[in-house]
A = this chain, B = another copy of it.
Amino acid sequence: MVLLFLRFNYYIEKVQILYQKSMAKELNSREDNYSQWYTDIVTKADLAENSAVRGCMVIKPHGYAIWERMQGALDKMFKDTGHENAYFPLFIPKSFFSKEASHVEGFAKECAVVTHYRLKNDENGKGVVVDETAKLEEELIVRPTSETIIWDTYRTWIQSYRDLPLLINQWANVVRWEMRTRLFLRTTEFLWQEGHTAHATKDEAVAEAEQMLRVYAEFAEDWMAMPVLKGVKSANERFAGAVETYCIEALMQDGKALQAGTSHFLGQNFAKAFDVQFLSKENKLEYVWATSWGVSTRLMGALIMTHSDNSGLVCPPKLAPIQVVIVPIYRNDEQFKAISEKSREIKKQLEAVGVRVKFDDRDTQKPGYKFSEWELKGVPLRLAIGPRDLENGTVEIARRDTLEKEMLQMQNIDQKVVHLLEKIQKNLYQKALDFRTANTFKVDSWNEFLEQIEKGGFILAHWDGTPETEQQIKEETKATIRLIPLEGEKENGKCVYSGKPSSGRVVFARAY
């Protein structure tokens, strides 16, 4: 009886969930609650969701398909610049973290620690418990980043200048035990790539770090349609163990900055810590020069927050898993049949020129529902075809970026679609660039700074170059120096906080 009742409750629950599903998926608006709007898009557009494991996310198929496209583009750029992929262990012996002093000092200690290697059946028959006799002699850390294990490996790979440069990248999962997590932006486990290169000279290593920064910037702008500033971090914000940290920073729609990628010149720090020397052409033993660089699934968060609107995700065509969705509009089977035939024909035509197309022929949902769903998921172009279109040889085309609709002749539809996709890609970039321009402010007084930082945006201000001033500004305003620009002219001035001399403006913002 109880069981029956439970089953009935379960049934009711399923029906309720189904009812909710059948309604339009309402998003919180960007203006009312930016943070909830972001989470709504991530979860309702089926990009990712929280898992049963605290802080770890499940990347859902639609989100993963976008990430795969990011990976594909980046991987090609890495290979085109001479890098090869490899794979290093997930686990790092605890003692490795003590070897590079500034690395261990600066690096967050929030890591997952493996202490045992066996489970056993509970003696009371209550499932499994940890077998206390299977304790590791030395604990293993789930990699938060792989400099240490990789440089330990490079010691045997590098003997002579002939082995250099060593240009390696790894696609991997890493774990940092974050206390406050947000889907894509900050999760305990995340996916990333980490490049680790070894060079014979300092100049070559610096050039590599700078090259990879340019690669990241090019990817952000050309593929993600996301304009970025390029620069170096102040000493406070540098990666633990780095001599110089290069970075790209983007501006989100709420006026907060997001660090989208970093490239580090590591000097000889890791080579010295892991004793990696090589015989130079002059037959001298020298320490190797190093770089490391990485971007992560955080880019998914950046993508969402750069372009999306109150209808959901807006995905740049180059990264969209589906670039065009075709929705048939019909009243009866006969119409459906005729429209389907035409739709499949158009699909083929578009695929022949390399466009990724979905024909949504589900008979379980109405066109209006489909329109909302594909808008929510960010598909750049929607074609709707009804009986009248068949007669007239037309198709209704809707742009996701502008939400504008237009009637087009079906003739040369492939060329028209290709052209529109290019136009959307460019428009998204231009829109984001205009937004950034409108939200970048030169500020010369502390009062102005205090006022502007509340409104958001990038603040270009003079800084006296001291960590103390930087720290004071951070404490008083929560703004950090996002970067010291690499481009643009240098201009002398006075520090916005201390009034001391400054040799150039830096970029302040509150950041993710």
B-binding residues in A (CB < 8 A): 7, 10-11, 14-15, 17-18, 21, 51-53, 56-61, 64-65, 68, 84-98, 104, 109-121, 126-131, 139-142, 149, 152-153, 159-160, 162, 168, 172-173, 175, 177, 189, 191, 275, 277-279, 285, 364
Contact = CB atoms under 8 A, between A and B. Distances in A.
A127 B113 contact: no
Given A18-B160, A91-B112, A53 B149 contact: yes
B14 A90 contact: no
Nearest to A139: B130
Among A89, A98, A116, chain B packs the most CB atoms within 10 A around the CB of A89
A97 B15 CA distance: 29
B117 A114 contact: no
Nearest to A153: B58
Contacts of A10: 275, 277, 285
B115 A87 contact: no
Nearest to A61: B84
Given A98-B128, A113-B130, A68 B85 contact: yes
11 contacts: A10-B285, A14-B277, A51-B88, A58-B89, A61-B85, A109-B118, A109-B119, A111-B119, A112-B116, A115-B116, A119-B141
B64 A84 contact: yes
A256 to B, nearest CB: 26
Contacts of A104: 121, 127-128
A91 B285 contact: no
A113 B114 contact: yes
Given A149-B51, A189-B89, A364-B162, A94 B113 contact: no
B112 A87 contact: no
B52 A14 contact: no
B97 A127 contact: yes
Contacts of A120: 109
B113 A85 contact: no
B86 A61 contact: yes
A354 to B, nearest CB: 16
A114 B142 contact: yes
A207 B7 CA distance: 30
Given A53-B91, A98-B126, A114-B115, 11 more contacts: A10-B285, A18-B159, A18-B160, A52-B89, A56-B90, A64-B86, A87-B191, A91-B189, A115-B115, A142-B142, A172-B173
B279 A14 contact: yes
A384 B256 CA distance: 59
Contacts of A131: 109
Among A64, A65, A277, chain B packs the most CB atoms within 10 A around the CB of A64
Given A117-B111, A128-B98, A130-B113, A65 B52 contact: no
Contacts of A177: 117-118
A81 to B, nearest CB: 15
A90 B153 contact: no
A162 B363 CA distance: 11
Contacts of A191: 87
A56 B173 contact: no
Contacts of A15: 279
Contacts of A97: 119, 127-128
Contacts of A116: 112-113, 115, 139
A111 B116 CA distance: 8
